Structure 1
Amino acid sequence: MTIGVIGGSGIYEALPLENVEQKRVDTPFGEPSDEVTLGELAGKEVAFLPRHGPDHQHTPTNAPYRANIYALKSVGVDRVIATNAVGSLREDLPPQTLVVPRQIFDRTSHREHTFFGDGMVVHMGFADPYDPPMVDHLADAAERADTDADVEEGGTYVCIEGPQYSTRSESEFYREQGWDVVGMTAIPEAKLAREAEMSYATVTGVTDYDVWKRDSEVTLDEVLENAAANQESINAVVEEAVRSMPDDFESDAWSALEGTINTPSEAIPEDTRERVDLLAGRYLD
């Protein structure tokens, strides 16, 4: 199958892909953020999408998450390596640290979190939002990659709505909960990847200390400067993760929809069935 990569255009430009082609994908959920870039790396098929578009024109709230995941599914992706820029909620996770989290706390409120609905109810398990086998693989790849960045495995990513940064009281609240990093793009991407039965995990790059640290209040200039510094390390991790992806990789996420559809098949409207056939068709026959 194909390994999907979601992140900034800098990742695609850095990956030494061969036999590259661009594929336009139409989806029932609107247009993806860009054409899907297909190529090969170390004999493995790779599909890349820039989350915010080629010119970073989509905000964290209105990025076409559903169309992006659907587009990757349609070209055969069954595992996804995502990348995110995050703020640190811990003194010992300074900017330019890489974090491979295991948990998410969702603070968003204005996003489409599911492919389903419209006469089809699906109750998807999401206890481990980042697929454990992929987390393990990404963390191992981060340790092996040719980078001087420190790597933290585990922890919780709290996803806020954005595009504004946190208030000081919000940032301090997140720290009191024991959460580790804060960002704006983990949700609904991780939820949709699970509904699409993809193994999904992320490597994040710390760009700032959010606003809890009085002598280091986050600014766009700081974020962009540290994001650029993180890019080389993240590129190295993604390339290593693709190159070392085992042929016998297995994931429970690949059957995540089994037993989750609460609506009898015969009661699901035909237009809904058609829209989600790529995702759930095998469970609706």
Structure 2
Amino acid sequence: MQRKIGIIGGSGVYQISGLEAAQWQEVATPWGAASDQILTGRLNGTELAFLPRHGRGHVHSPSSLPYRANIDALKRLGCTDILAVSAVGSLREDLPPGDFVLVDQYIDRSFAREKSFFGEGLVAHVGFAHPTCARLGAEVLSAAASAGVKLHQGATYLVMEGPQFSTLAESRLYRQWGADVIGMTGCPEAKLAREAELCYASLAMVTDFDCWHPGHDAVDVAAVIATLSANADKARNVIAALPAALEARPGACPCGCDRALDTALITASEKRDPALAAKLDAIAGRLL
């Protein structure tokens, strides 16, 4: 099966170099405008679409990001897989600033965002026990090794609402919960990708120790940006190495990502809202 990779670039990663036939495209969605235009092209022979999550120049806050439009736009462009790159704080001593982590679990503490494409008139409940695609994650690990980037495998990402950073009490609490890293954008992005039946992996760049660490000052934007600048090239190197690490995928994703809606739709067909169904043409068109 032909694969097309969507890259969602987080803080510090606003562009991808080396794309052949590169062009910025405006993609209209029923959920409004995406964060920015999407850069499409071919990278080392693989179709790729790049979306800067916060927009070029970082104009969108975590709470106001158009998450649904972003995922819909990538799906509408034909993406089969999404690699999300994001900046996170570390809640573990052995994950220092500058390290990279492959996230595989989430604790979602966000509260001011639309978290589903579905709703009144057309209800769906997707499975989310394993929120990332193990197969795509293994390919990202391989790409990181090829790029010479140290990547920790497996981490739980605590999603906070923001835009303020944590209090000391919150930071200590999240460590007690077993969270490994903390950020503001991992959800609902991963949840929406599952609803859109896209394979999703999360590459997290550690920028700071949040505020729990007694040997470090409280988080500030200047320190975060300094670490991001140092790591941005490493993130781009992993992305550049990803096409060579991709395996030929059979007709169905081994993890079931591309069939997430098979048993998720619960609203009786005669009771479904036709207006909402129409908005779901790209997300759930194969079933609706």
Band of TM-score, shorter chain: over 0.9
Within-5 A mapping of 1:31-46: 31-46=33-48
8 Å contact from structure 2 (residues 11, 54) kept in 1:
no
Within-5 A mapping of 1:141-180: 141-147=143-149, 150-180=150-180
8 Å contact from structure 2 (residues 45, 243) kept in 1:
no
**1:91-135: per-residue Cα shift (whole Å, max 9, x none)?**
111100000011111011111000011301101100011111112
Task: Supply the AA of the counterpart residue of 2:164.
Answer: Q
Q: Normalized against structure 2, the TM-score is what?
A: 0.94
> Match of 2:81?
79
Within-5 A mapping of 1:11-30: 11=13, 13-30=15-32
> Match of 1:133?
135
8 Å contact from structure 2 (residues 98, 205) kept in 1:
yes
Q: Normalized against structure 1, the TM-score is what?
A: 0.95
Instruction: Tell me whether 1:105 sits opposite 2:73 in the alignment.
Output: no
CA distance in 2, matches of 1:10, 1:95: 14
> Match of 2:54?
52
8 Å contact from structure 1 (residues 161, 184) kept in 2:
yes
CA distance in 2, matches of 1:203, 1:140: 13
- SS of 2:285's partner is helix
- SS of 2:222's partner is helix
**1:207-236: per-residue Cα shift (whole Å, max 9, x none)?**
000000123121111111001111111111
- SS of 1:282's partner is coil
Task: Supply the AA of the counterpart residue of 2:159.
Answer: C
1:140: how far off?
2.3
8 Å contact from structure 1 (residues 211, 218) kept in 2:
yes
8 Å contact from structure 1 (residues 101, 203) kept in 2:
yes
CA distance in 2, matches of 1:10, 1:242: 22
8 Å contact from structure 1 (residues 74, 278) kept in 2:
yes
CA distance in 1, matches of 2:123, 2:72: 18
Change over 3 Å in CA distance of 1:196–1:84 after alignment to 2: same
Q: Which moved more, 1:7-16 or 1:78-87?
A: 7-16
- Residue segments in structure 2 that go unaligned for 5+ positions in a row: none
> Match of 1:280?
284
> Match of 1:211?
211
Number of residue pairs aligned between Structure 1 and Structure 2: 282
8 Å contact from structure 1 (residues 41, 243) kept in 2:
no
**1:184-226: per-residue Cα shift (whole Å, max 9, x none)?**
1100100000000000011111000000012312111111100
Change over 3 Å in CA distance of 1:13–1:283 after alignment to 2: closer
CA distance in 2, matches of 1:14, 1:121: 37
Change over 3 Å in CA distance of 1:11–1:39 after alignment to 2: farther
Percent of matched pairs sharing the same residue:
43
**1:68-96: per-residue Cα shift (whole Å, max 9, x none)?**
00000111001001101000001111100
CA distance in 1, matches of 2:75, 2:15: 22
8 Å contact from structure 1 (residues 99, 203) kept in 2:
yes
- Residue segments in structure 1 that go unaligned for 5+ positions in a row: none
CA RMSD of aligned residues (A): 1.4
CA distance in 1, matches of 2:146, 2:202: 16
CA distance in 2, matches of 1:164, 1:26: 31
